[in-house]
Amino acid sequence: MAQQPSHQAGARRAIGRLRSSGPVWVSIIVVTLVIVSLPSMIILFFGMTPTIVAFIIDRSKQKSATFCVGGMNLCGVFVSLLDLWTNSHTIANAMNILTDVFALMWMFLGAAIGWMLYVSVPPVVISFLTVMSQHKVAQMRSNQKEIIEEWGESVTNSPEMRELRGEEILEVDGQPLTDEGG
Amino acid sequence: MAEQPDTQEEPGGGQARHPPVMLLDHFLIDPNAPLPELNTPSAKAYEVEDRRDLNSKLFALVCSHGLPARTGVMFSLRGKNFDGLIPLVEWAAVDWPPIGKRATLVIYQRPLGGRVVDVFNSGKAKLSEYDMAKQIIGPLTEGLNELAKLRVSHRAIRPDNIFFMDKERQNIVLGDCTAAPPGFDQPLTCETIERAMASPGGRGVGSVSDDLFALGAAIVLSLPGKNKVTGMEEDELINSRIEHGSYATLCSGARVPMSLLELVRGLINDDEEERWGIDDIRNWVLGKPYVSIKKRPARKAETPITFSGSNHYNARSLARLLTLNVTGAAKFIKEGQLELWLRQSLQEEAMADAVDALVRVAKVHQNDPLGSKDFIVTKTSIILDPAAPIRYKGFSFMADAYGPALAIQYLGKGDIQPAIEVVMLEIPSIWVKTQPRSSPETANLERSFAALRRHLQDTTPGYGVERCLYELNPGLPCQSPLINEMHVVTIDELLPGLDNVSNRVDTKKSPLDRHVTGFIAARFDQEIKPHLKALGSDSEETAIIGMLSLLAFLQWQLGLVSLLGLSSWVGGLLGPAINTYHSRTTRREIERKIPRLVRQGSLPDIFDLIDSSDKRQQDSDGYEAAIEEFVTAEKEIQEIESGGTTNQEKTEKAGQQAAAMTSVILTMIIVTILFMLEMI
């Protein structure tokens, strides 16, 4: 038992080290990819600009906007990447693609769809969850009604219920005074 | 004073004919055939036919509803055949048509020779004074001796209660002694001075010595010629007996034959210690040597004391007069004249000191009962005459007669408050302490009064004055208005009685009123305190469960199989008890099952249904769980309803996460499709 906190502290320290060393690793991977596959990296860098923007402006911890935009943006960029990978994987071809309006249109259209998802899905989900909550409340109220019918009104006057209602609880000999005299 | 007890008059007062009454399947009592010659002052006599023995000659005495009969003595004498005593054949309670109620009937063998006093007065038979010893005194003494062996005193020996059993008038017997409380029907002349000063109901059980006094008095009063005492007023008679002695008063003017003189002097002796006993009479009858009683003058003061206009030379007559004029007496006692007279003239230092102490205490307790004039006078009367009855606010009784005196006061609708106050003020304890000699009897009396005081102090059902009534009068029927007409005397008769009246009474009222509960507490020999405690609860539900539990316990213990009417009555009162269950389902289940159990007439089963511990536990657990469930739901509802910004943020975050997930999934699908298209 005594060793468990030290294990947890060790794990936390390991995660901290990983996080602090994360950018280094990303930089190493990016540099490696630039060296290995520069044309793809050029298309990815320019094609994923909306995602980079989304990443910068999305202050949330979960980065949902970045994922939304990034995902759909990647779809648009992936068309050009496939084209690059299947024809000639050169910087010139990459530049050609980047200067192709339709290719750019797919990339930015993807990003736009990503933004649309980010804007439109939450209200739908919120409405859905609200309806679900209301349904749950109704179900619980019905359940409470059944409890009252079965066990009587006194169940609504227990000390806990009074506390929930913010009523003052009178005590006799240290025992809360209920309607039943107990 | 209490009213006279009711007699067996017909409700309509007319001469209506009534059907014969069958008692114990073979005694046929004819209400239309009275036998006035065998009546007693408290009970009327009727003809009885024994269907199993048509040659037997019997009669029945119908006990008065207003008097507690001596059922204990009935038990002792039933079926016994003693010389000198009228044989008691049977007794029981039956519906008695002339009064429209149940009554206790005592069946005796019929005396065929009539009353001795009537026979002598009519001249139909003559008895020489010499035959008297063998034919009358001897048999009656033997009868009293048999009673003494049974620890029973007759207490009804008077001239008109001595009979010839046979037509030949050879066999002489004492008549009934069970239909009224001891001494109740006695003329003052046949009671000792002390018991004559008590009220008729308060004369007490006494002892064989009291019976022998009565026998002596009855002999004197039966002698031919007019006796002077016959026309005397009560006060005059008692005063004369106190001043001159009972013997001198009763025999004054009577022609007592010489041969009976010693016997009469020995029996009519006011000093119980010197009074003749059974052995002395036997010796006298047999002509053996016996103790001759010399007439001794009563102790008198040198100078009289004047109270209420009359002079008194002895403490007894003064004590009696003090209790008859309480206001004047209290002032008289407080003024100190009495103490001085006791000390100087009567030379009773102990009495004088006791009166002095009483006056001092009264001054300290001026505003409470211990300083009241009634208490002062009663205590003074006890000090002056310890052998006399306790006399308080007109309620006078010998200490061993509190029960019958209380019963007669109650049954006669008299004021019972003085009877209660006597016990609450511990006056009997004062009486016990004043007695010159302590005996096991006085110690028992003191314990008994202490128990009565505890009963009276307790106001819960099963205690109070009702409990005292039934504890002290084993023959007293239950006086509850619910079953009064049923004449319930024993505990076995109670539930059938309640069952019987269930269709005639207001069934919205509990069958256990204070009288029924007191009756049960006094007559039922099992431990019922927990039931009584529940019955006396302030909570209606607990009281109802207490009622049911007590009745069920009685039915179970007494082995009564089916009580349909009572079960139905009780079943109708159980609403509040059923409502003590929280669960509606349980309540409905109980309500559904009750009619079936009512039809079985089983109170224990109804009780098991209503108050099963398992069911109670289940209900309690279920109730606790229901509260917890209700509270949990309420908390959740409140959390959902009052979530506000936090909740909105959560939902919004959930929406954003859903959007991100949608995007990622779409990406994976699209990328896969594009890749596959390119591969194809």
If you average pLDDT over every residue of chain A, what do you get?
A: 85
CB contact under 8 A, B663 and A126: no
**Section B626-652 average pLDDT:** 83
Confidence of residue B110 (pLDDT cuts 50, 70, 90): very high
Q: Which of 563-582 (B) contact A at CB < 8 A?
A: 582
DSSP character at residue B416: -
**What is the tens place of the pLDDT at every residue in A47-97?**
999 999 999 999 888 899 999 999 999 999 999 999 899 888 899 999 999
Closest CB to A133 among B630, B640, B663: B640
pLDDT tens for B442-491 read 999 999 999 999 999 999 999 999 999 999 998 899 999 999 888 898 99
Residue B15 has pLDDT above 70, yes or no: no
For B48-86, the pLDDT digits (tens) are: 999 999 999 999 999 988 888 999 999 999 999 998 999
For residue range B306-347, list pLDDT tens digits in order.
Answer: 998 888 888 999 999 999 999 999 999 998 889 999 998 888
Helices B491-501 & B540-558 angle (0-180, nearest 10): 120
- B126: confidence class by pLDDT, cuts 50, 70, 90: confident
Cα–Cα dist B361/B224, whole Å:
55
pLDDT score at B554: 96
Report ipTM for this prediction: 0.77
> Which of the listed ranges B6-15, B115-124, B173-182 does the model predict with the highest average pLDDT?
B173-182
Q: How many CA atoms lie within 13 A of B594 on its CB side?
A: 20
Interface membership of B649 toward A (CB under 8 Å): no
> DSSP letters along B156-211, please?
---GGGEEE-STTS--EEE---SSSSTTTT--GGGS-HHHHTS-GGGS----HHHH
Nearest CB among A82, A130, A151 relative to B678 is that of A82
pLDDT in tens, B26-42: 999 999 999 999 999 99
Residue A2, pLDDT > 50, answer: no
Of the pLDDT bands very low, low, confident and very high (cuts 50, 70, 90), residue A175 is low
Q: What's the confidence (pLDDT) of residue B417?
A: 94
Q: Give the dihedral of Cα atoms A122, A126, A128, A129; nearest 10 deg.
A: 130
Q: Chain B contact for A60, CB < 8 A?
A: yes
DSSP string over A34-102? HHH-HHHHHHHHHHTHHHHHHHHH--SSS-HHHHHHHHHHHHHHHHHHHHHHHS--SHHHHHHHHT-HH
**Residue B346: per-residue pLDDT:** 86
Closest chain B residue by Cα to residue A121: B659
Q: Are B205 and B400 in contact (CB under 8 A)?
A: yes
Tell me the pLDDT band of A178, cut-offs 50, 70 and 90: low
Residue B280 in this model has a pLDDT that exceeds 60: yes
pLDDT band at B645 (very low <50, low <70, confident <90, very high): low
What's this model's pTM, rounded to 2 decimal places? 0.76
pLDDT of residue B297: 59
Write down the pLDDT at residue A130: 85
Alpha-carbon distances, residue A181 vs B396, B531, B576, B628 (angstroms): 49, 22, 16, 19
Paired tokens of B248: 């001198």
State the CB neighbour count (10 A cutoff) for residue A19. Answer: 9
What pLDDT score was predicted for residue A182?
Answer: 37
pLDDT of residue B123: 74
Q: Torsion angle, CA of B227/B231/B235/B240, rounded to 10 degrees?
A: -30
Under 8 Å between Cβ of B499 and B511 = no
CB B49 within 8 A of CB B30: yes
Residues of A in contact with B660 (CB under 8 A): 62-65, 67-68, 71, 118
Predicted pLDDT of residue B592: 93
Q: What is the pLDDT of residues B330-339, one digit of tens each?
A: 999 998 889 9
Confidence of residue B374 (pLDDT cuts 50, 70, 90): very high
Interface check B259 vs A, CB under 8 A: no
Which residue of B lies nearest to A114 if distances are taken between CA atoms? B663
* Mean pLDDT of all residues in B574-600: 92
Q: Does A176 score more than 60 pLDDT?
A: no
B631, B658, B678: residue with CB nearest A160: B631
Supply the pLDDT for residue A18: 63
pLDDT at position B295 is: 59
Task: Provide, rounded to the nearest whole percent, the portion of chain A with pLDDT above 70.
Answer: 84
CB contact under 8 A, A158 and B635: no
For the segment B264-289, the average pLDDT, to the nearest whole number, is: 89
Query: pLDDT tens, B428-441?
Result: 999 999 998 888 88
Of B377, B315, B375, B399, the residue nearest B350 (C-alpha): B315
B610-633 average pLDDT score? 92
A171 in B contact zone (CB under 8 Å)? no
* Best of B656, B669, B671, B677 to mutate (most A CBs within 10 Å, chain A): B656
Quick: pLDDT tens for A56-66: 999 888 899 99
Instruction: Judge: A82–B633 Cβ closer than 8 Å, yes or no.
Output: no
Bigger pLDDT: A22 or B355?
Answer: B355
* Statement: residue B511 has pLDDT above 80: yes
The pLDDT of B260-277, averaged and rounded, is 90
Contacts of A117 in chain B (CB under 8 A): 659, 662-663, 666
- N-term to C-term CA, chain B: 128
Query: pLDDT band for position B12 (50/70/90)?
Result: very low
pLDDT mean across residues, chain B: 89
Pair B278, B145: CB distance under 8 Å: yes
